[in-house]
Amino acid sequence: MGRFAKLVATTSALAFVLGVLQVSPASASVTISRQSCSSSSGCLDQTVDNSGEVCIVATKNASHHANWCIWDHGWTNTFLSVYVDGRAETCIGYQACVGVDHFRWSSPGITLWALSGGHWYGIESGSKDIPSAGNTGPTDTLYTTGDYNYSGIHDCNSGASMGVYTHTEVDLKVFWTDGTNTTVITKNSNDYCHNQ
């Protein structure tokens, strides 16, 4: 009877360990390509606005791949100020996300950075478009940070101009339909000068 009790305990412990292993998704190895979008030619996002935009493709295999594009958007409010926000759009184009179950945004998800005094500072982060759980998609969806209002003279681009030098950072994981997921993928748009 004592031997039987030990066998039951050991079997239960083994079942528990296997159950824990099954709950944790395996990490998937992916190939990342980054396209700088100086024009719409050859870039995933055919609506490119050239505000430092880059497009990212995470490829696991022919039946598991995903893309997203990252850029800043700027617009002038008055002669002395410019508004900028950070933007990301997932699953752009035909069959842009195949074999994707969902994305998980790693907090804060999207961060708009600005250059000031030779240092980069996070000036806007997070997005009202990302749910509190951080899971989205896979859909063709635009996500934006809050608007940043920059006023003053800043040496950005060539020569002294009024404007702000920025880039957008995106941190997300891809969860695939086969139960695996990537580690957090962190990518930035190109640095861009938003003139007033």
Position with higher pLDDT, 162 vs 59: 59
Please report the pLDDT score of residue 170 as a whole number: 98
Please report the pLDDT score of residue 161 as a whole number: 60
187 by DSSP, 3-state: which? strand
Question: Would 5 be classed as within a structural domain?
Answer: no
Closest listed residue to residue 143, CA positions, set 132, 130, 134? 130
Question: Would 16 be classed as within a structural domain?
Answer: no
What tens digit of pLDDT does each residue of 33-51 get? 999 887 777 788 878 888 8
Domain limits for position 90: 27-195
pLDDT of 70 above 60: yes
Question: Would 158 be classed as within a structural domain?
Answer: yes
Q: How far is CA 164 from CA 38, 82, 83, 104, in A?
A: 19, 8, 9, 30
pLDDT of 23 above 50: no
Question: Would 21 be classed as within a structural domain?
Answer: no
Question: Would 184 be classed as within a structural domain?
Answer: yes
Please report the pLDDT score of residue 14 as a whole number: 42
Average pLDDT over residues 136-156: 86
Please report the pLDDT score of residue 71 as a whole number: 96
Question: Would 99 be classed as within a structural domain?
Answer: yes
Burial class (CB in 10 A: 0-12, 13-18, 19+), 125: middle
In percent, the amount of the chain with pLDDT more than 70 equals 81
When pLDDT is cut at 50, 70 and 90, the band that residue 155 belongs to is: low
Question: Would 187 be classed as within a structural domain?
Answer: yes
Question: Would 12 be classed as within a structural domain?
Answer: no
Q: How many domains does the chain have?
A: 1
Please report the pLDDT score of residue 12 as a whole number: 45
